Amino acid sequence: RKYAFNRWKEIISDQINNNGSFKYELSRKDSLIYSTLALNGMVQTAEIAQHNNVDLYNYKLSDGRGLERSLDFHVPYITNSSKWNFSQNATYKGDNAAIYELAYAFKQKPSYWKVIEKWKRPMYENKVLASITLTHGIEMVSEDPIIMMTITAPNGGENWTRGVIYTIGWRP
C-alpha cells in the first residue's frame, strides 16, 4: 500500500497539467472519457488511502497540482460536455461522473454536487466500482427544496438480496 500511495504522489508532476487536466489523455480521440477514467483511478486510490489513514484527497505539489485541482478542472465539462475543447468522438454519457459522489462526501464542494445533480443518484461507475452511491454518512441535500428529503429507512446494516423489492421510507 505504501508504495502505491507514494507512487500516486510521484506521478502527479508527470500526469497533471497546471490547470488540472491530464496531459496524456488530451490527445486521445475520446479525451473527456479517458480523462475522467484517469480521474476515477486517482479518486479510488485516494479513497483506499483514506481508509488506511493516508490523505491523498488533500495532497498537492508545491505548485498546487493535485486531485482537487483535477476534480475542479473537469466539473464544467462533466456537467456540459459541449464545452470540452478537445477531441471527443463518442457521446459523453456521464462516464466516471460517479466519483464526484465520493469527492463530494470528502470535500463537500457545491460544484461537485452539481455533477451529482446532473447525472442523478444512484450513480454507477461501470468501469470498476459498479454502484457507487457511497456517502460515508454525509448528508447530500439538493439546493432545490422541492427535491430535498430525508431517508428514514433503511438506516444501515441491512442485508438485501438482489432482485427483491424493498420499501424505502422518507420524509420531506
Terminal Cα-to-Cα distance of the chain (whole angstroms): 43
pTM, entire model: 0.75
Mean pLDDT computed over 135-162: 61
Read off the pLDDT of residues 144-155 as tens digits, 9 standing for 90 and up. Answer: 544 555 666 666
Among 58-72, 86-100, 102-116, 130-144, the range with the most confident prediction by mean pLDDT is: 58-72
CA gap 47, 125 in Å, rounded: 15
Among 64-68, 120-124, 133-137, the range with the most confident prediction by mean pLDDT is: 64-68
**162 — phi, psi (to 5°)?**
-60, 135
